[in-house]
Chains A and B, each alone.
Chain A
């Protein structure tokens, strides 16, 4: 109960204090002190308005700190030191949005944006971030400290940028990266639920703060429709289960319905972008009661649209999977073989599946082996291993 309050409230405190005092370190420390005070003070009884209590306490802590510092340095207390006005709800939301844009500022290194966003916006601890990103606490702590030092020294502004759409791309990319790192971790474990949850929370926040930005809506829809399948994605043996073999009854209908509604809103907005199109692709998959009911024609159209705005070999690879269903494995293989993706495990895994369907077992075996060498996720490696074994035992 108390933990839930902190998870939600701590980032709000940091955002609000940063705007009022213009100092991330001060905001973070004061928010932390307020939470500590709550931990000891709320054992007896929760205050009627926990959020308000925390905000008032954190503000007082920040003012105390500023007074102590100014006394130590023999300066007069700063003009900013005044009791807090009650914060209107939209102000708190504005502050959070500002903080997201500051944390995802393009002048910061991408890995710093990721760590900073997880810490200050998603409210994960340094320890949790280190565990999630397979790094040491010292390294993550240093990354965050350095980023905050740059924000302060270079005056990276605490504002929602004028050219919102351009900068929103950077923010959405960070959230998408957090989710992917959770849904298909590069190594170690099959799934990182904490990162998936953090990303969905961030995407919900962005959609709530920017309801008229269809790409923010698209990203939330994409994450929900992907996350809806989380429970069926890895079997008891820790092996990845591909879309065609997932038990669809295990999908979350609530998340799918929510995702479909968001995709419909995107279609109405009629300003398509990469996240919206990927969400639409996932909407087609999740709309099919069984794999055999998949509307491949619709997927082909959507992938073509996606390729038009995002002409990458990875998109072409995924389009080829649809081609295999519509025009057969031979046509798909011709497309795949032309792609410059030889360092990407999914390229070899896709080739292996196509070669298998064409009865070219030796080549399929070699492709599985190459995919296994490149794959880092243990669930994926187990899946590829079994597929290769089946091939050996087959006709």
Chain B
């Protein structure tokens, strides 16, 4: 069965977590609502046998890039790309084809309140 990475962008995906912010959401209430809805969606994936793995990520500022393509690994603080959007969390799901994966992504997007990128795994 093909596997897809569904990654959440634009919500819960701040670069940093300064005081008074809610993990990229507008308010504590909204963050809570997104968490609750995401929990329901996760359970649905498990029940339907589509769940492989899921996780929310710490802010992009906590990332470290390792580049060992040269002689020695070079470590760089921060995310790989200095873009405006970072992944806030992700699912790995099993789906027979892209149409099913896109349906799941739409549900995940509604639950997490962020845009979701769908990307197939190799193999």
A107 at the B interface (CB under 8 A): yes
Q: Is the interface of B mostly helix, strand, loop or mixed?
A: mixed
B35 at the A interface (CB under 8 A): no
B63 at the A interface (CB under 8 A): no
> Using an 8 Å CB-CB cutoff, how does the interface string of B77-118 with A read, 1 for contact, 0 for none?
000000000000000000011110110000000000000001
B2 at the A interface (CB under 8 A): yes
Q: Which residues of B contact A105 (CB under 8 A)?
A: 98
> Using an 8 Å CB-CB cutoff, how does the interface string of A152-192 with B read, 1 for contact, 0 for none?
01111101010000000000000000000000000000000
Cα A105 to Cα B98 in complex, Å, equals 10
Cα A161 to Cα B118 in complex, Å, equals 19
Query: B55-80: which have CB < 8 Å to A?
Result: none
B120-A157 in contact (CB<8A): no
> Using an 8 Å CB-CB cutoff, how does the interface string of A382-394 with B read, 1 for contact, 0 for none?
0000000000000
B98-A154 in contact (CB<8A): yes
B120-A153 in contact (CB<8A): yes
* Nearest-CB residue, chain B, relative to A162: B99
Q: Which residues of A contact B118 (CB under 8 A)?
A: 154
Cα A157 to Cα B99 in complex, Å, equals 7
Cα A313 to Cα B95 in complex, Å, equals 41
* Nearest-CB residue, chain A, relative to B102: A107
Q: Which residues of B contact A161 (CB under 8 A)?
A: 99
Nearest CB of chain B from residue A155's CB, rounded to whole Å: 5
Nearest CB of chain B from residue A164's CB, rounded to whole Å: 12
Q: Which residues of A contact B102 (CB under 8 A)?
A: 107
Contact size class for A?
under 10
Cα A107 to Cα B116 in complex, Å, equals 13
Nearest CB of chain A from residue B65's CB, rounded to whole Å: 25
Q: Which residues of A contact B120 (CB under 8 A)?
A: 153-155
Cα A105 to Cα B101 in complex, Å, equals 14
* Nearest-CB residue, chain A, relative to B1: A155
Q: Which residues of B contact A159 (CB under 8 A)?
A: 97, 99
Cα A181 to Cα B97 in complex, Å, equals 33
* Nearest-CB residue, chain A, relative to B121: A153
Query: A75-121: which have CB < 8 Å to B?
Result: 105, 107
Q: Which residues of B contact A154 (CB under 8 A)?
A: 98, 101, 118-120
Q: Which residues of A contact B98 (CB under 8 A)?
A: 105, 107, 154-157
Report which residue of B96, B99, B119 has the largest number of chain A beta carbons within 10 angstroms of its beta carbon.
B99
* Nearest-CB residue, chain A, relative to B120: A154
Q: Which residues of B contact A155 (CB under 8 A)?
A: 2, 96-98, 101, 120
Q: Which residues of B contact A107 (CB under 8 A)?
A: 98, 102
Q: Which residues of A contact B96 (CB under 8 A)?
A: 155, 157
Q: Which residues of A contact B122 (CB under 8 A)?
A: 153
Q: Which residues of A contact B119 (CB under 8 A)?
A: 154
Cα A155 to Cα B120 in complex, Å, equals 8
Query: B4-47: which have CB < 8 Å to A?
Result: none
> Using an 8 Å CB-CB cutoff, how does the interface string of A121-161 with B read, 1 for contact, 0 for none?
00000000000000000000000000000000111110101
Cα A153 to Cα B101 in complex, Å, equals 13
* Nearest-CB residue, chain B, relative to A161: B99
10 nearest A-B pairs in the assembled complex, by CB-CB distance: A157-B97, A155-B97, A154-B120, A154-B98, A155-B2, A156-B98, A155-B98, A153-B120, A157-B99, A107-B98
Q: List 13 A-B contacts (CB under 8 A).
A: A107-B98, A153-B120, A154-B98, A154-B118, A154-B120, A155-B2, A155-B96, A155-B98, A155-B101, A156-B97, A157-B96, A157-B97, A161-B99
Listed in ascending order, the chain B residues whose CB lies under 8 Å from chain A are: 2, 96-99, 101-102, 118-120, 122
Listed in ascending order, the chain A residues whose CB lies under 8 Å from chain B are: 105, 107, 153-157, 159, 161
Beyond contacts A154-B119, A157-B99: 8 other A-B pairs, Cβ-Cβ < 8 A, are: A154-B98, A154-B101, A154-B118, A155-B96, A155-B97, A156-B97, A156-B98, A157-B96
